[in-house]
Amino acid sequence: MTLSLSGNTSAVLAGTRTVTAVNGLATFAGLSMNQIGTYNLTATSNNTGLTSVTSSSFNITSIFASKLAFITQPGGAVTGSALNPQPVVAIQDSQGNLITNDNTTMVTLAISGNTSAVLAGARTVQASGGVATFSGLHIDLAGSYSLSASSNPTLTPAISTQFEIIIGPASKLAFTTQPGGSLAGTILSQQPIIAIQDAQGNVVTSDNTTLVTLAISGNTSAALSGANTVKASGGLATFSGLSINLAGIYALTANSAPTYTTATSGNFAITAPVATRLAFQTQPGSAVVGNPMSPQPVVAIQDGLGNVATATTLPA
C-alpha cells in the first residue's frame, strides 16, 4: 500500500510511504510534511483490483520561528540612492515555512564584513505577518556588498546575495592631498591633489576631462606661480611646481570646468627665506637745512624675493 499527496503541490511527504498490509491493514508510521498547509493523502495499491481512496483534509501547521531568510534580495544602486529592489526578510520555521502570525520580531540589517561604508535608512523593521519589509535603504560608498539580517528575539541570521553600488555622477571637488608650506618663491613642500567626486565623496575614476584650477583664497597681492590648471586623470588632478612669492598664511581654492562645487584647502604657511639684502622701503625726503627730512627713510632687510625678514633684528 502506498500513500501520496493529492493534488498539485510542492510539499514533500517524508517517511516510509509504502507499507505491506497485514491482516487487511496497512499501518503507517513516521510520516511528516515539510510545508504548512491543508492536504489530502491518496492510498493506492499495486493490486489493480483495489480502488484508490483519498483521505479527508488535514492541516500542517508551524510550531515555532527558527530562522530568517531573504525572500527579496537587495538590489544595486548608485551611491546614496535607494537600493532597488529593497530587501524583504521572512521569519521562518526550520523547514522554511513562513510564520504568518509573527507580528513582533524586530529584524535588523547591516552590511556584512569589514567596511567603512554606511547603510543608511530605517535598518530595523518590525515583522508583519512574518515578513519584515524594508524601504529607503542606501549605501554611501561604491563597491560590492551583501547584507546580514539579525533579529530580536534571536533567530538564525541570514546573508543576502551580493549586489553592486556604483559611483554617481561628478558633483564636487575635494582636496585629497593638502598643499604644504614652504619658503617664499620655492615650490610647496606638498603639492595639492584634487579629486572629482560624486555627491557621496566617491572619486569619479572615469573622469579624464575635467579641468581643475587653483587660486589663492581671499584678497592678497601674493602670486601663485606654476601650472595652476590641470586636467583630471582617473578622477584626480595632480599639481606640481606650485609656489607663492610672498610670506604669509594662505589657503587655495579649487574650481573646475565643467563647474562642480568648489573646495578650499586648509591653511598653510609661506615663510621668508634668509635675509640677503637691504632696500629703502621709504626713500628720504627733501628738507630745509637743519630741518628733518620729510619723510624720514626706512630701510628694510629683505630676502632675495623682496620679502621683509620680519624675524631679523640687527644692531645699530
pLDDT at 48: 77
For residues 39 and 4, give the distance between their C-alpha atoms in angstroms, rounded to a whole number: 10
Q: Is the peptide bond before 87 cis (omega within 30 degrees of 0)?
A: no
Query: What is the per-residue pLDDT for 198?
Result: 96
Each residue's pLDDT tens digit, 44-63: 998 878 999 999 999 887 77
Domains (range + CATH), the chain? 1-61 (no CATH), 67-166 (2.60.40.3960), 172-271 (2.60.40.3960), 274-316 (no CATH)
The arithmetic mean of pLDDT across residues 269-282, rounded, is 86
C-alpha cell at 206: 572615469
Q: Nearest 10 degrees: CA dihedral of 138, 139, 143, 148?
A: -80
Q: pLDDT tens-digit profile of 67-117? A: 999 999 999 999 999 999 999 999 999 989 999 999 999 999 999 998 999
Could you tell me if 83 and 145 are in contact, meaning their C-beta atoms sit under 8 angstroms apart? no
Q: Which amino acid is at 303?
A: D
Given a cut of 70, is residue 312 above it in pLDDT? no
Q: Give the dihedral sign, CA 194/200/206/207.
A: negative
Helix or strand or coil: residue 24? coil
Nearest to 236 by CA among 290, 200, 197, 292: 197
Q: Could you tell me the three cell numbers for 219?
A: 584678497
Strand 163-166 and strand 143-145: the pairing is antiparallel
Average pLDDT estimate for 213-229: 96
Find the angle CA(165)-CA(169)-CA(171) to the nearest 5 degrees. Answer: 120
